[in-house]
Amino acid sequence: MEAGELAGAEIAFRRLIQLAPQAPQGYAGLGDVLLQKRDAPQAAQVLERAVSLAPDYRMAHYLLGRAYQQTGRQAEAERELDKGVDASVWYLPDPLTAQVERYAVNLTSRLERAREYLDAGDARLAASILEEAMAANATNIKLLNDLAIAYLRLDRVKEAGDLLHKARELDKGQISTSINLTNWALRADRPDLMLEYADSAIALAPTLYQAHFAKGQALARQGRFEEALASLDHALQFDVTKPESHSFSGDICLRLKRYEKALKHYKNAIELDRDMFPAWIGLAQANWQMGRRAEAERALAEARRIIPDHPMILRLERQFQSAP
C-alpha cells in the first residue's frame, strides 16, 4: 500500500482477514485501501467491523471517520475522528517480537514501542520493555508515567503509585503526572488524594477535559454530588463528545432524582456511543422511576444486547417483573 500498489494491497489484506478474522488489522488495512480507491460506502462497512473488534483501535476510528465524511454522515464522522486522535497503526505480534525489543537500545524507540503495546491492550509486554529501560533512565518522567499506566492495567496499584509519586517529586509541573495520579487514586480508593491531584491538574491546565472529569469522579466518591455535577458540566464545556461524561452525569442526576436531566445525558451518551452499556442501564432506571415502563423495558433490552449476563440486567429484570 505504501508503494501505491492498491490492487496487491487489497489482495493481501483480504487474505489477512481470512487468516485472522478476529484481528482488526486486516479490516482496517482493507478499509484504508478502499478509501484510496474512492469506495467510501464499502470502506465504512469494513471499518465498522474493525472498530467492533477493537473499540480502542484509534487508527480504525480515524479511517472510519474519513469514510463517514465522504458519505455525508458528518455527525458520525466527527465522533469517529475524535476517537482517532493520535492514531497509530497496530501490527500483528509474532513470537520474535519480545526478543527483537531487546536490541532497541534507544529510549525514544522503546517508549514508542511500549506505547504501541499499551494502545493494543498488551500491558504485560509494554511493562517488560519499560522495566528494562528503567535501569538506565530511572528519572525520565515519561518513562515513569508510561510504566505506571502499564502497572495500573496489570492491577499492580502500589507499584504504579510509587512511580507516579516519584515522577511528581521530580517535576510537579507535568500535567500528565497529575492526570495519571488521579487515575491511580481512583484505583487505590483514595478519593481525597484524587481530588487533590485533579485540582493540581486544573491549576496547570484549566480547560483540560480530563482534569474536570477526574474531579467530578472524586467528588462523587465523597458523596458531594452537587459539586460533582458542576465539575462534570465543566468537563463537558471543554469536550462535549465524551460519552462517559454524559453517562456519569446521568448517574448523578438519577441519584439526585432529576430524571429529565438524567434522560438527556443518557441519550447524549448513547448518541455518541450506541454500545454504552451504563447509559442504557441508567436510561432504563430513569424511565422506570418516571413510570415509563415500555421505554424502560426497551432500554433494558438494548443493555441486554451488549452484555446479556450482567448482574444489573438480572436485578432490573426482577424489579420490573415484580412490579404490579
List, for residues 80-104, the tens digit of each pLDDT value.
Answer: 988 887 677 777 766 555 554 444 4
How many alpha carbons lie under 13 Å from residue 45 in its C-beta half-sphere? 4
pTM for the model stands at 0.61
**In contact, 31 and 43? CB cutoff 8 Å:** yes
How confident is the model at residue 104, as a pLDDT? 44
Q: Could you tell me where the DSSP H helices lie in the chain?
A: 6-19, 24-36, 40-53, 58-70, 74-83, 97-101, 107-119, 123-134, 141-153, 157-170, 175-187, 191-204, 209-221, 225-238, 243-255, 259-272, 277-289, 293-306, 311-322
Query: Does 240-324 match 6-83 at the fold level?
Result: yes
pLDDT mean for each 10 residues of the chain (324 residues): 85 93 92 92 94 90 92 88 77 60 62 85 89 87 93 94 94 85 91 90 88 92 94 92 94 96 96 93 96 95 92 90 81
Rounded to whole angstroms, the Cα distance separating 250 from 266 reads 6
**In contact, 127 and 100? CB cutoff 8 Å:** no
Rounded to whole angstroms, the Cα distance separating 281 from 296 reads 9
Domain ranges of the chain: 6-83, 240-324
Name the average pLDDT for the chain.
89
Instruction: Tell me the Cα Rg of the chain.
Output: 22
Q: What digits encode the pLDDT tens for the residues 58-80?
A: 889 989 999 999 888 988 988 89
How confident is the model at residue 192, as a pLDDT? 85
CATH 1.10.357.10 fits 6-83, yes or no: no
CATH classification number, 240-324, choose in 3.90.550.10, 3.30.470.20, 1.25.40.10, 1.10.1740.10 = 1.25.40.10
**In contact, 45 and 18? CB cutoff 8 Å:** no
Residue environment code for 201-215, b if the CB has 16+ CB neighbours within 10 A, otherwise e = bbebbeebbbbbbbb
Cα 129 to chain centroid, rounded: 23
Residue written as grid cell 458523596: 223
